[in-house]
Structure 1
Amino acid sequence: MFHFGQRQTLVISIFIMLVTACLLVWRPDYNFFDGGLITAILLTIFIKNDTPTRIMGIACTILVVVIACLPHKNPNLAEVFIEHFFSLILVISSTLLVLFLKSLYRTMQELNQALEKEVEKRTANLELALSHLASSQAELKDALEKEKELSEIKSRFVSMASHEFRTPLSAILSSAALIGKYPASEDQPRREKHVQKIRDSVIHLNELLEDFLSLGRIEEGKIHVHPENISLQNFALETVEEVQGLLKSGQHLHSEVPQELHVWSDKRLLKHIFVNLLTNASKFSPAETRIGWKLWEENGYIHAIVEDEGMGIPEEDKTYLFSSFFRARNVTNIQGTGLGLHIVKRYVDMLHGSISVESELGKGTRILINFPNLQAQ
C-alpha cells in the first residue's frame, strides 16, 4: 500500500477541504456528506501516521459546523442544520470505523510479524536442538565405537596374557623341576640346557613387562622428548650390536648409514623404535635371511627403512597393525604381546614423524619411517 508523509497529507487535506468549501459556495445544494466522507476515507487509507488523520477529522468537523451555521437559500434552516448535523455524524462515524479497521489491520500485521518472528525463533531453536541431537548421536556413536574397541582390546589382552605369561612361567617351572632330577656331575649339559630355558623365559617375561610399563608411561604422559645431537652412524653401530645377539641362526643384519649424518632428536626413543623393528624383522623371518636397515636425510627429514624377507602381513590385517594387543592371524605361534608396533607408532608420533608399512604375504615386509631433523629445521 502506498503511504504519504505528514506534510504531503496535510497539503492534500487542505486542498480537498478548499475544493469542498468552494463547491458548497458555488452549489449550496451540494451534499457535504459525499465529499467529506470520501475525503476522510481516502486520507485514513493513505496516511502513514495517525496525527494527520486526527487533524483532518478536526478540520472536517469544524467545516461541517461552520457550513451548518451559515445562511442558506433554503429558508428552512432547521432542515439544513439537521441535514448537515447528520452528515457530520456520518463523517465522524465513518472515519472512526475506517480508523478502527485500519488499527485492527495494523494489529493483525503486528501479530503476524510477531508470529513469524516467533516461528523463526522456534525454527532456529529446533534446528539448534537437531544439531545438538546430531552431535550427541555422533558422540554416542563414538563412545560406543570406543567401548567396542576397548572391549576388543580387553579380549585381546586376556587372550594374550593367558598365553604369553603362562608359557614362560610353565617353561621356568618345568625346567626348575627337571634340574632337580639331574644331580650327578655328568648331567651338567642337561642342567645347563634347562638353565638356558629359564634365562630365555625370564628375558621374555621381562620384555612383556617392559612393553606394559612403556605403554603405561605413555598413557600417563610420563615420557617426554629430550632432543640431543646424535651421530646416526654411531647410533646404528650400537643398535646393531645390541640386536645381533637376538638374531636367528644365519640371519644377517645389514645397515646403511651415511658417515657424517647427524640428527637432533631423542636417542632413547629412537633406540626403542629401531630395536623393536629390527627384532620384529628377525622374529618374523626364517633363518638364513637378510634384514636391511637404511637411514638417510632429505629436505630436513630423516628417512628410515627396515625390511625383511619374512612371512609378510595379510592384507586384511594391515589396518589394525598399530592397534594395541593386535597380532596378525599368521603369527599365532610366535611369541609377542601385540604392543610393539603400537608403542613404536606412539613414539614416532611424539617425534612428529610418520610410519607406514608395505608388505606382501610370504615375501617380506618394509617399514618406512620419517621424522624431522630439528637441528636442520
Structure 2
Amino acid sequence: MKKHLISALRSERRRNYTMNASIVSAVFMIMIWAGLLTGFIMIGIKRCLHFLSPLQMPFVFLIVGLVVSVIIGTCISAAVASKIVRPVREVKKAMHRVEKGDFSQRLEVTGFNGEIDELIESYNKMAQELGGIEMFRENFINSFSHEFKTPIVSIQGFAKQLKKENLSEEKKQEYIDIIISESRRLTNLSSNILMLSKLENQQIITDKTSFSLDEQIRNCILLLEKQWTAKDISFDIDMQEIQYTTNAEMLSQVWVNIIGNAIKFSPEGSSIRVKLFKEGDVITAEITDRGIGMDQQTISHIFERFYQGDRAHASEGNGLGLPLVKRIVELCNGNIRVESQYGKGTNFIVTLPENG
C-alpha cells in the first residue's frame, strides 16, 4: 500500500504538467472545431441573407459568428470537461467510501487520459491492499479471541469441578494438571504474540554474537529431551562444525519450534534426521521427520498466524510457532521452505547466508 501511495505522490507533479498539456490540447481542438462549424454556418447564412447590403453583411456575419462560436464552443467545452472531470469525481467518491471502511469499490480505466488512468489504477491497487489488510485484521482478531478463549474456558470449567466435595483425589490431580497445562498454553501464546509483534516491527538484528551453530542445535535437542524420550524417538545427527554470528537467543527459537514440531508429529519409536552443512557462503539446516506429513494446501498456509493444519494436535500448539520461525529467518536474510508428502513425513530446510 505504501509503495503505491508513494508512487502516486512522486508522480503528482508530472501528472499536473500532463493534465495542463491535455487541457491546452482540448482547448485548441475546441477552437478548430468551433471555427469549422462557424464557417459552415456562415456560408449557409450568407445564402439566406442575400438581400442585405454589402455594408450590413460584415456586421451581421460578425455578430452571428460570435454567437454561434460561443454556443458551439460552450457545448464542446462542456462535453470535453465532463469527459475529463467525471473520472476524477468518481475517484473522489470512491475515496470517501474508503474513508468509511468500504474497500470493495473498484473503478474502470477510462482510456481517455493516461495520467487519470494511472491515478485510477493506483486507487484500485490501494483499495485492494487495504481490503486485504482489513480481512487479515478481522481474521487475526477472530483467531486471537478463539485461541485465548479456549484455554480460559477450559480452566474455568475444571476449576469449578475442583469445588465439588465428592471429587476423588485422582480426579483432582487430573484436573489440576489440565489447569496447569492450559495456563502454560496461555503463557506461551502471550509470549509468542509479543515476540512476533516485536520482530515484525524490527528491521535489523541486535545483540549479535559469534557462536557454534551445530552446538546450538544440539542444545535445543537436549532442551526437548522430555518430549522425545516420552515417544522413544531417536535422532540421526549429521552436522558440520560451523561458526555463525547473529542473535543466538533469537535463532534458537527457530530450532526449538521446528524440532518440537517434528517430535509432535512423529510416531513413537521413529527417528528424526538433523543435517547441517555449508556450501560456499550458504549454510543449510535440514530437519526431517517420518511423521504424517502435509498436503499441498497445508504447506501453502503453514506459515500463517494461528493456522493449524492438523486439528488432532491443535490443543498442543497455538499456530504462532512457524510464523515466528519465518520472521526470524527473514531477519537473518535467510529462507525457509517445506518439502512434504502426506503420510511420508516432512522436511524443513533453512538456508542462512554465512555473514548473516
**TM-score w.r.t. structure 2 length?**
0.60
Matches within 5 A, 1:339-358: 339-358=320-339
Amino acid at match of 1:334: A
Matching of residues 248-263 of structure 1 within 5 Å: 249-254=230-235, 256-258=237-239, 260-263=241-244
Residue 331 of structure 1 aligns with an amino acid whose one-letter code is: R
2:253 to 272, 287, 305: 272
Following the alignment from structure 1 to structure 2, what is the Cα–Cα distance between the partners of residues 141 and 253?
Answer: 54
1:234 deviation in Å?
Answer: 2.5
Mapped pair 1:164 → 2:147: yes
Say which of 130, 137, 158 aligns to 1:175: 158
**2:214·2:276 contact (CA, 8 Å) conserved in 1?**
no
* Residues 135 and 355 (structure 1), Cα distance of their counterparts in 2 relative to 1, 3 Å cut: farther
State the distance in 2 between where 1:150 and 1:332 align.
30
Unaligned runs of 5+ in 2: 1-111
Deviation at 1:250, TM superposition (A): 1.6
What is the CA-CA distance between 1:201 and the residue it aligns to?
0.6
Q: 1:264 to 1:197 in 2, by over 3 A?
A: same
Deviation at 1:295, TM superposition (A): 1.4
Given candidates 154, 179, 183, the residue that maps to 1:202 is: 183
- How is 1:338-377 mapped onto 2 (pairs within 5 angstroms)? 338-374=319-355
Give how far 1:223 is off.
6.8
Q: Which amino acid aligns with 2:318?
A: T
Partner of 2:281: 300
Residue 134 of structure 1, CA deviation: 4.8
For residues 181 and 345 of structure 1, do their structure 2 counterparts lie closer, same or farther at Cα, with a shift above 3 Å needed? Answer: same
- Give the conservation status (yes or no) of the 8 Å contact 1:156–1:326: no
- Which residue of structure 2 lines up, in the alignment, with residue 95 of structure 1? none
Contact 1:252 1:291 in 2 (8 A): yes
The 2-side partners of 1:224 and 1:324 are apart by 22
Structure 1 residues 173 and 215 mapped into 2: Cα distance closer, same or farther (>3 Å)? Answer: same
Aligned-residue sequence identity (percent) comes to: 25
Q: Which amino acid aligns with 2:159?
A: A
Deviation at residue 273 of structure 1 after TM alignment: 0.9
Partners of 1:133 and 1:278 in 2: CA distance: 54
CA contact (8 A) 1:304 1:368 kept: yes
Paired with 1:298 and 1:183, the residues of 2 have a C-alpha distance of 65
Q: 1:224 aligns with which of 202, 205, 208?
A: 205
Answer whether contact 1:225 1:351 (CA < 8 A) is retained.
no
Asked if the contact 1:265/1:373 (under 8 Å) is kept, the reply is no
Secondary structure of the residue aligned to 2:224 is helix
Of residues 219-228 and 238-247 in structure 1, the stretch that sits farther from structure 2 once superposed is: 219-228
Distance 1:304-1:131 versus aligned 2 partners, 3 A rule: farther
Q: Which residue of 2 aligns with 1:149?
A: 132
**For the residues of structure 2 that align with 1:145 and 1:324, how far apart are their CA atoms?**
21
What is the aligned length? 246
Deviation at 1:209, TM superposition (A): 0.8
1:334 is paired with a residue whose SS is helix
Residues 253, 293 of structure 1: 8 Å contact kept: no
2:318 to 328, 337, 340: 337
- What per-residue deviation string (whole Å, max 9, x for no partner) do you get for residues 215-263 of structure 1? 2112332873432121123212320122223448425251525463322
Map of 2:44 onto structure 1: none
RMSD, matched Cα? 3.1
The reply on whether 1:139 has 2:122 as its aligned counterpart is: yes
- The Cα shift of 1:200 comes to 0.9
Cα 1:350/1:222, change in 2 over 3 Å: closer
Render the CA deviation track for 1:177-225: whole Å, top value 9, x for unaligned.
22333688xx443322222111111111111111210121123328734
Normalized against structure 1, the TM-score is what? 0.57
Partners of 2:149 and 2:243 in 1: CA distance:
44
Q: Which runs of 4+ in 1 moved over 6 A?
A: none
CA displacement at 1:374 relative to structure 2: 2.2
> More displaced, 229-238 or 242-251?
242-251
